[in-house]
Amino acid sequence: MALIRELAFQGAQMLVVLLLAPLLTGFVRKVKARLLRRQGPPLLQPYLDLIRLTRKDVVLANNASWLFRAIPYIVFAGTWVAVSLVPTFRSGLVFSWSADLIAIIALLGSARFFLALAGLDVGTSFGGIGSSREVMIASLAEPAMLMIVFTLALVAGSTQLSTMAAFMVSPEVGLRVSLGLALIALLMVAIAENARIPIDNPATHLELTMVHEAMVLEYSGRHLALIELSAALKLLLYISLVGCLFTPWGIAGPDASVQAIAAGAVLYLAKLAAGGFLLALFETAIAKMRVFRVPAFLGAALMLGLLATLLLFVSRSL
């Protein structure tokens, strides 16, 4: 009985994130437009785009292989599973122990791995640019992310997201330099991972500046829809990750009352909104940097992460 309830929660969570993701993207776009004094697309535009794309035929390059057609599903699945394991409004998801934070990072990693392959499959120069830059960025972003995970895991004594979140609300966290550093690093990584300004520009179609867009250049129709959706999911994932790690307040416990859960849900939406708003604000405030400045940016994130880990011992020896 309890199991079924848990499964239901799990399913609900998965559906929620799936449904919320495009909204979040739309919200960010809207806010950006507003900050630029533009009207901007309607809030639900992403949904419409997705639907339209899925309706269209796929136009496939002549020499695209079976792998090219399989990849959108793989990427989507990987991202979706990853995000569905992040506690959003209720921690202690039934399957959360099937993958801890490291595994979630790795899942996103495999999604990226296949996306990069897709960039190379058709054999165009732009795809190549995209993939090669993507892996270069990833080669710095992933270690940085892992260092952040180290920091948090060492603080919380666990890599299990639910446990971490639970620990983060508990009083013995205290204010720590490491956590601050970790937060900054995490934000930097999140920006890079989601191909946002200043690393990459989700809206650009100026070839030489594209990274993510260049990889998926050859995709169309439902394939493109899936990839857009997984991109949105990824954004959601990172924001909720920041949410549940650094602002874990309100996340309902495993055996919480309905009200608590409702409150958690509301709070969660608020967090998403806040995150999206800040992101939009940041993006409008800053200019995109040259591709070969990116390593410096992410290297800084990596250093911050490492520093955070090392400072732990100084702040309080565990």
Partner 1 sequence: MMVVYALYGVAALLALAPIAIVLGAAPRTQGPVLGVATSVVYGASLIVTLSLCIIALLSLFEYSQSPSLVTLPLGLPWIGAHFRIDALAAFFLVVVNLGGAAASLFALGYGRHEHSPLRVLPFYPAYLAAMNLVVMADDAFSFLVSWEFMSLTSWALVVARHQVRENLRAGYIYLLMASFGTLALLLSFGLLAGPDGHYAFDAMRASHPPAALAALVLLLVLVGAGSKAGVVPLHAWLPLAHPAAPSHVSALMSGVMTKVAVYGFVRIVFDLLGPPDWWWSMVVLGVGGITAVMGVLYALMEHDLKRLLAYHTVENIGIIFIGLGLALAFKAHGMPLAAALALTAGLFHVFNHSVFKSLLFFGAGSVLNATGTRDMEHLGGLIHRMPQTAFVFLVGCVAISALPPLNGFVSEWLTFQAILLSPQLPSWGLKFMVPAVGALLALSAALAAACFVKAFGVSFLGRARTPAAARATETDSNSLAAMYFLAALCLVAGILPGFIIDALAPVTKSLVGFSMPHQAGVEWLSIVPIAESRSSYNGLLVFVFVVLSGSIAAFAIHRLASDKLRRAPAWDCGYPDSSSATQYTASSFAQPIRRVYGTSVFHAREIGEMPPPGATAPARLKVELRDLIWIAAYAPVAAAIDYAAEKLNVLQFLTIRRYLSLVFTALVLLLLVLAIWP
Binding residues for partner 1 restricted to 50-109, rule: CB under 8 A: 51, 54-67, 73-74, 76-78, 80-81, 84, 95, 97-100, 102-103, 106-107, 109
- The distance of closest approach from Cβ of residue 270 to partner 1 in the complex, given in angstroms and rounded to an integer, is 28
Question: Could you say which of 120, 169, 263, 300 contacts partner 1 (CB under 8 A)?
Answer: 120
Binding mask 255-274 for partner 1 (x = CB under 8 A): --------------------
Q: Which residues, 6 or more positions from 248, have their beta carbon under 8 angstroms from its beta carbon?
A: 165, 166, 168, 169
CA distance 191 to 278: 12
Nearest approach, Cβ of 38 to partner 1 (angstroms)? 26
- Binding part of the chain for partner 1, among 150-158, 235-243, 253-261, 274-282 by CB under 8 A, reads 150-158
Burial of 100 (0-12, 13-18, 19+ CB in 10 A): buried
Q: Would you give the distance in Å from CA 87 to the centre of its chain?
A: 13
List Cα–Cα distances, 216 to 26, 55, 107, 202, 207, in angstroms.
Answer: 20, 18, 19, 12, 12
Nearest distance in Å: CB 162, partner 1: 9
Give least dist CB 117 to partner 1, A.
Answer: 5
Which one of 4, 125, 172, 290 is in contact with partner 1 (CB under 8 A)? 125
| Binding positions for partner 1, 227-256, rule CB under 8 A | none
Are 50 and 22 in contact by the 8 Å Cβ rule? The answer is yes
Q: Which residues contact 303 (CB under 8 A, 6 or more apart)?
A: none
Cα 118 from Cα 314, distance rounded (Å): 45
Q: Give the residue, chosen from 189, 227, 302, 304, that forms a contact with partner 1 under the rule CB under 8 A.
A: 302
| Least Å from the CB of residue 68 to partner 1 | 8
Minimum CB separation of residue 297 from partner 1 in Å reads 12
- With respect to partner 1, which residue has the nearer C-beta, 200 or 283? 200
Residue 259: left (phi > 0), alpha (psi -120 to 50), or beta? alpha
* 221 contacts partner 1 (rule: CB under 8 A): yes
Query: Which of positions 176-215 make contact with partner 1 (CB under 8 A)?
Result: 207
CB contact burial 167-183 (16+ within 10 A = b; e otherwise):
bbeeeeeeebebbebbb
| Nearest-approach distance from CB 197 to partner 1, in angstroms | 19
One of 140, 168, 179, 216 touching partner 1 (CB under 8 A): 140
Site for partner 1 in 8-47 (CB under 8 A): none
Q: Which of 20, 31, 93, 116 binds partner 1 (CB under 8 A)?
A: 116
User: SS3 of 211, please?
Assistant: coil
Q: What is the DSSP string of 93-141?
A: -TTGGGS-HHHHHHHHHHHHHHHHHHHHHS--HHHHHHHHHHHHHHHHH
**From candidates 126, 246, 277, 282, binder to partner 1 by CB under 8 A:** 126
**Region binding partner 1 by CB under 8 A among candidate stretches 20-28, 37-45, 114-122, 248-256:** 114-122
Q: How far apart are CA 298 and CA 307, in angstroms?
A: 14
